[in-house]
Structure 1
């Protein structure tokens, strides 16, 4: 699809300063995300490292005392458990506070024991923490990766905008390009517009954000797929195009040059010049959305079940993760059957998590 275009003077032109901006929300959300990522890593990593060490040589203390033990579940599957441990080992008394976080779909209470490291008796935890060790590692890794990745992406986008703004301080040849208006907001007589390079030219898919002063409107040249299409320009080799205003005041040109550039556009669009507000396409019905959501859920359940079935019947190692965690979360009868299948192939080796007896080594 083609859209009306303009002819600009064939020389290096300056653009107004501040025509590319960063959404203010980025400067508020970025510190929050960084703090949340650091908090998760700092609060959970020491406990995981402690339990990893204990798991190398676990010793269950039946004489140990577990006090104030409690678990709370948020959002249906984020579980946090804490307890105070008091025990004596080889004449030495210890007091420890333990807190663990993991993902689990569970109802009712957890049965747990006090476990210490045979090599480092000052390290103690709950057997539940060892049972969920890989679960905790994967949960922490996923959260840190998602939050940390989001932080890095936001930092990259902010730096890219700053670099573009620096490049706009110098004149350069301008290349018109249609862009899709993905969102806009009018507040206090000021218009904020988000747009993306998805339609013509380079089609980088990159999104830009800009503010228009009171009385200014973006240069709209059509609509595509229910969304308005604006006219922007590439400034030399910048990473983002700059959305133009309808009077071309963002480009340093003479009034005569602006009139000459806009004349063909006005003649082509006539009185039917499109506006910023364009009626979008009708979305899916509620029934279709529910059906799609149900299909996705069924596919996920089917995929998880197939992965678990492969693990218990065909995996080359009984310690395949996260299959061990999935097997542990299965109903007791299904878990028992899965462990029996694993035991047929690995019965002469250590039992994996989910199939261990009370000594955390032999098969149950």
Structure 2
């Protein structure tokens, strides 16, 4: 791989040769807003329940109304309820909502708990049982999402700092970089490259945009990836990918010609950044994938149904009730018989209920 012979004097680079990905401008505020929303939505309830947990008092005559738990993504559960109770000659009416991670199936049992010192603070016993679960869940969400947003802010500031440094002349050191991704849209060539080849590699990735007619200075290929030539500008954190005509470096025309002359033959052999045509699957292949996924869903639903009617700890388990209700009449009847053998003393679940909506059919 030929080395680029640049003048042995400090050189400056063009403006904005390191670009900020457009996604940074909309993902960062969205993630930050999500962090704030989670904190404002869940933190007050956690603080309330932590206070209650220090001196809890279970009210046997308390009324838990409209209690409902919803499970999302199989493990994320949020429960809400209206709490109506009387204590110390005063009546209270409040609503609570808790979120936690659980692999539970079926219904939850809960009661009404208040703070003995502050009876206006009330919650459901399930919220106290899952208190540390909730604290850890919220902490993980805030740390992960907050870390992501802070990471994008840090990278954006690094790019801004590097671009400001590039305008000041400094010694340039040519280094090879790996082109990891590129995209051409509306005459703009967007390139992501990684500093992972040079002896003093940093492992950092950078992103740049080239206008119509500009191409990167490609000098080879390795492991199916194009190798571009970049320069380190003094002690800046990110290398700058050069263009094929060296317009990004402030040189005279004679200096550009002299620098590019030894590399002319190598550039002729270097691969061009040409997007490979996207192969679309045939209709038969797509049909096979669809039927395969459908078969997996059917097998999974059938397995879940068998578990529900033979092993579930409660007949009121969703989606077990829904699957049983959708089964053909013979299978539905057999499933209801299995459930009735184990839960016949309780009211019938959906899918096995008679016309009175209570007894078994």
TM-score (norm 2): 0.74
Question: Structure 2 CA distance, aligned partners of 1:142 and 1:181?
Answer: 34
Question: Structure 2 CA distance, aligned partners of 1:160 and 1:272?
Answer: 35
Deviation of the 1:184 alpha carbon: 0.9
Aligned residue among 92, 95, 102 for 1:94: 92
Kindly tell me the number of residue pairs found equivalent between the two proteins.
278
Question: Structure 2 CA distance, aligned partners of 1:18 and 1:270?
Answer: 25
Question: Structure 2 CA distance, aligned partners of 1:277 and 1:197?
Answer: 21
Question: Structure 2 CA distance, aligned partners of 1:81 and 1:229?
Answer: 54
Question: Structure 1 CA distance, aligned partners of 2:49 and 2:96?
Answer: 10
Deviation of the 1:36 alpha carbon: 0.3
**Is the 8 Å Cα contact of residues 219 and 267 (structure 2) preserved in structure 1?**
no
Question: Structure 2 CA distance, aligned partners of 1:193 and 1:100?
Answer: 45
Aligned residue among 272, 279, 288 for 2:269: 272
Question: Structure 2 CA distance, aligned partners of 1:49 and 1:101?
Answer: 13
Question: Structure 2 CA distance, aligned partners of 1:251 and 1:206?
Answer: 22
**Is the 8 Å Cα contact of residues 52 and 122 (structure 2) preserved in structure 1?**
yes
Match of 2:162 in 1: 164
Deviation of the 1:4 alpha carbon: 3.0
Where does 1:198-277 land on structure 2 (aligned, <5 Å)? 198-267=196-265, 269=266, 271-277=268-274
Aligned residue among 46, 53, 56 for 2:54: 56
Question: Structure 2 CA distance, aligned partners of 1:225 and 1:278?
Answer: 17
- Give the unaligned 5+ runs of structure 2: 277-311, 314-361
After superposition, give the CA deviation of every residue in 1:82-110 in whole Å (9 maximum; x if it has no partner): 11101001111111110000011122111
Match of 2:147 in 1: 149
- The answer to whether structure 1 residue 174 and structure 2 residue 168 are counterparts is no
Question: Structure 2 CA distance, aligned partners of 1:141 and 1:168?
Answer: 40
- The answer to whether structure 1 residue 67 and structure 2 residue 85 are counterparts is no
Question: Structure 1 CA distance, aligned partners of 2:54 and 2:261?
Answer: 78
Question: Structure 1 CA distance, aligned partners of 2:101 and 2:274?
Answer: 44
**Is the 8 Å Cα contact of residues 228 and 278 (structure 1) preserved in structure 2?**
no
Cα distance change on mapping 1:86 and 1:42 into 2, 3 Å: same
**Is the 8 Å Cα contact of residues 57 and 114 (structure 2) preserved in structure 1?**
yes
Q: Which protein has the larger Cα radius of gyration, Structure 1 or Structure 2?
A: 2
- Give the unaligned 5+ runs of structure 1: 280-330, 333-364
Match of 1:120 in 2: 118
Question: Structure 1 CA distance, aligned partners of 2:4 and 2:196?
Answer: 19
After superposition, give the CA deviation of every residue in 1:232-282 in whole Å (9 maximum; x if it has no partner): 111111111110001111111122211211122223x26422222498xxx
Q: What SS does structure 2 have at the residue aligned with 1:106?
A: coil
After superposition, give the CA deviation of every residue in 1:278-307 in whole Å (9 maximum; x if it has no partner): 98xxxxxxxxxxxxxxxxxxxxxxxxxxxx
Question: Structure 2 CA distance, aligned partners of 1:270 and 1:171?
Answer: 27
Cα distance change on mapping 1:199 and 1:106 into 2, 3 Å: same
Question: Structure 1 CA distance, aligned partners of 2:267 and 2:187?
Answer: 27
Question: Structure 2 CA distance, aligned partners of 1:225 and 1:80?
Answer: 48
Deviation of the 1:173 alpha carbon: 1.1
Q: What SS does structure 1 have at the residue aligned with 2:214?
A: coil
Match of 1:45 in 2: 43
Deviation of the 1:112 alpha carbon: 0.4
Q: What SS does structure 1 have at the residue aligned with 2:271?
A: coil
After superposition, give the CA deviation of every residue in 1:2-48 in whole Å (9 maximum; x if it has no partner): x3321100011121111111001100100000000111111111111
Greater shift, 75-84 or 197-206, is seen at: 197-206
Cα distance change on mapping 1:261 and 1:183 into 2, 3 Å: same
